[in-house]
Amino acid sequence: MPAAAARVVLVTGVSRFLGARVANTLQADPGIERVIGVDTVPPSTPLGRTEFVRVDIRTPSIAKIIATAEVDTVVHLNLVTSQTVSRAKVKEFNVIGTMQLLAACQRSPDMRKLVVRSSAAVYGSSPMDPAVFTERDEPVEAPTSGYAKDAVEVEGYVRGLRRRRGDLTVSVLRFANFLGPGVDSPLTRYLTMPVVPTVLGFDPRLQFLHEDDGVEVLRRMTVEDHPGCFNVAGDGVLLLSQALRRAGRPYVPVPAPSMSMLGDLGRRFGGMSGFSPELLRWLTYGRVIDNTALVNELAWRPKHGSEAALADFLSARAPGPGVPLQLFDRLTAAFSRGGPPG
């Protein structure tokens, strides 16, 4: 539909990894006239023909940009999931920023489409969860803290906008945890700790999404019309213990309370990001989402499964100490040849 085709695209959170990648992909599309990137800090990587505007989306000035540039498509990637700044500030960004942005979108007559980055964290993590969440499922225990709660609230405001502006094409994407060579998140920092603490007695099922697939999904959602809410995750599931073994990282199971204490110590003295309550719950109970609806809608499947995403992430990092597997190979070879050496 040419009427709905994206002409002027606004990307929020452009100075961060995902925003920059999406802006770079969109500007390569000749059908898009302008790509405008906004964020509160200047971008660390060159953005090409993307026009960067330094603006705080928590202020009404975002409305001015949308109105003057006649923005017809907003790609909202501003959800902050890490704990590098204080929780109160993160919440300001996530919730108040989204409210301002959506208010501006509702007012603008040029608006055609909204693509929102949400998170699979909206499903929460609990032992009573169904094994696999589909988009229709409600969380058994709704998240009560952190960015997961923000994402739930953001989705609520987006639903409100959709009700008031029925003419908009609104896509909400619930992303699994990103993983890949370029990703820096609480998860990647956790996976690369020298000795990784895990929650004693639990081995959660995890799912990853490769950064390239995430960018491709966002591109398709922007240039094509796919209204609705979709789970986005790579195929397949890994257990935490399995992922850590593949990473060659030694891990130590510790009781959950000591785990959060360790996280606090790490944050205070080691400059690490600590374990937020929602990360800790995820590392205890895990979560799996069903990407069937997305695959059917796009007639496309993420190129990397969870395993491949992890492998690609690991290949870009220094390997962990691990166990010398060659020793096993030599022993096995010796035995299958018949008789131990010597």
Partner 1 sequence: MNAHHERRLDGDREDEGARVIPLDSARSDGHRRGPDERGALERGIASGLAFLRRRIAGEYEVDEFGYDPDFNAAVMLPVARALYERWFRVELLGLDNVPEKGGALLVANHSGTVPLDGLMLSVAVHDHADRALRLLGADLVYQLPLLGHLSRKAGHTLACPADAARLLGKGELVGVFPEGFKGVGKPFADRYKLQRFGRGGFVETALRAGVPIIPCAIVGAEEIYPKIADLRPLARLLGLPYFPITPTFPLLGAAGLLPLPSKWMIRFGEPMPLEEYGEDAADDPMTVFNITDHVRENVQQMLYDTLLRRGPAFF
Q: Which residues are near partner 1 by CB under 8 A?
A: 127-132, 134, 137, 200-205, 236-239, 241-246, 288, 307, 322-323, 325, 328-329, 331-332, 335-336, 338-340
**CA atoms of 279 and 264, how far apart (whole Å):** 13
Min separation Cβ 313 and partner 1, Å? 14
Min separation Cβ 133 and partner 1, Å? 9
Tokens of 302: 């993420």
Min separation Cβ 339 and partner 1, Å? 7
Min separation Cβ 1 and partner 1, Å? 35
Q: Which is nearer to partner 1, 129 or 155 (CB)?
A: 129
Q: Which is nearer to partner 1, 73 or 284 (CB)?
A: 284
Residues in the chain: 342
Q: Which residue has the tokens 């799912």?
A: 207
Burial string for 76-111 (b: 16+ CB within 10 Å, else e) reads bbbbbbbbeeeeeebbbbbbebbbbbbebbeebeeb
Q: Which residue has the tokens 């094509």?
A: 224
**CA atoms of 21 and 26, how far apart (whole Å):** 9
Per DSSP, the three-state class of 337 is helix
Q: Which is nearer to partner 1, 2 or 338 (CB)?
A: 338
Min separation Cβ 292 and partner 1, Å? 11
Cβ proximity of 174 and 165 under 8 Å: no
Per DSSP, the three-state class of 193 is coil
Tokens of 146: 């952190």
Q: Which is nearer to partner 1, 118 or 125 (CB)?
A: 125
Q: Which is nearer to partner 1, 8 or 288 (CB)?
A: 288
Q: Which is nearer to partner 1, 28 or 200 (CB)?
A: 200
Q: Which is nearer to partner 1, 165 or 205 (CB)?
A: 205
Tokens of 275: 């374990």
Q: Could you tell me which residues are beta bridge partners of residue 231?
A: 174
Read off the DSSP letter of residue 34: E
Min separation Cβ 291 and partner 1, Å? 11
Q: Could you tell me which residues are beta bridge partners of residue 326?
A: none
Min separation Cβ 14 and partner 1, Å? 34
How far, in whole angstroms, is CA 1 from its chain's centroid?
Answer: 29
